[in-house]
Amino acid sequence: MNRTLSRALKGIALAAVVAAPFAANAESNFQTGAGALNATAKVDFTIIIPKVLFLQVGTGALFANNGAVDMITFDVPAAAVGNGVAVNAAAGSGDLGNGTVTAMVRGNGGNVTLSASNAGPLSNGDGGSIDWSQITTTAAPLNTANVLPAPVLLNGNSAAIPIAPLAGKIVNQDARWTYKYANSAPVDAGTYGGLNIGRVTYTASLP
């Protein structure tokens, strides 16, 4: 055997010795003899849990991606325009109906923040606008006793809401969010929102 081949074989043997403690080898134990015998064998377990963050506002399924975006529609009666009486959303609005949506945050990495943003006041495309502060959000219990608070809607970015873990680093909060139009002042006729700056984007963040 030449020296080059010998050195290569020694290197392979050394690598095998170093790697041996990390190999997932089964254990066996053989016993024999008179009287009581005990043979033992061990198995080591490892469980790897990834960091996860899930946010749902409206239509969705737990830990699944869903591209559906719910439409919340307020149809203000002519005799009630700007009279200060809040207007409920249409019956078919939101995945729970009547302007109510499922809101849910799940995470396992510690503190989460929840915020909302938009591109500016709702527009009617003809110079009229309605501030996002005119749309209120009320949170009520859904499945857990830990009601998820809703960011206050403002033109642009809302203040981020901190959501602390309930135990360890687990965040698990949900709610029924119900939207209403405050209707606090008369505005120009038209259809506001929709394609005219009518979308709010909620963001959950986990460091």
Judged against a pLDDT cut of 90, whether residue 150 lies above it is answered with: yes
Task: Report the domain count for the chain.
Answer: 1
- Residue 5 placed within a domain: no
Q: What is the spatial distance between Cα 65 and Cα 132, in angstroms, rounded to a whole number? A: 27
- Residue 142 placed within a domain: yes
- Residue 96 placed within a domain: yes
Burial class (CB in 10 A: 0-12, 13-18, 19+), 115: middle
- Residue 16 placed within a domain: no
pLDDT confidence band for 164 (50 / 70 / 90): very high
Which pTM does this prediction carry? Answer: 0.82
Which domain does 163 fall in, by range? Answer: 53-205
Q: What is the pLDDT of the chain when averaged over all its residues?
A: 90
Convert the pLDDT of each residue in 70-108 to its tens digit: 999 999 999 999 999 999 999 999 999 999 999 999 999
Per-residue model confidence (pLDDT) at position 25: 61
For residue 193, which of 95, 105, 121 has the smallest C-alpha distance? 121
DSSP line for 137-150: EEEE-SSSSSBPPP
Do the beta carbons of residue 204 and residue 107 sit within 8 Å?
yes
- Which CATH number do you get for residue 159? 2.60.40
Per-residue model confidence (pLDDT) at position 196: 87
Per-residue model confidence (pLDDT) at position 195: 83
Convert the pLDDT of each residue in 10-62 to its tens digit: 454 444 444 444 445 668 988 898 989 999 999 999 999 999 999 999 999 99
| Sign of the C-alpha dihedral computed for residues 164, 167, 170 and 176 taken in this order | negative
Q: How many residues does the chain have?
A: 207
Beta-bridge partners for 136: 180
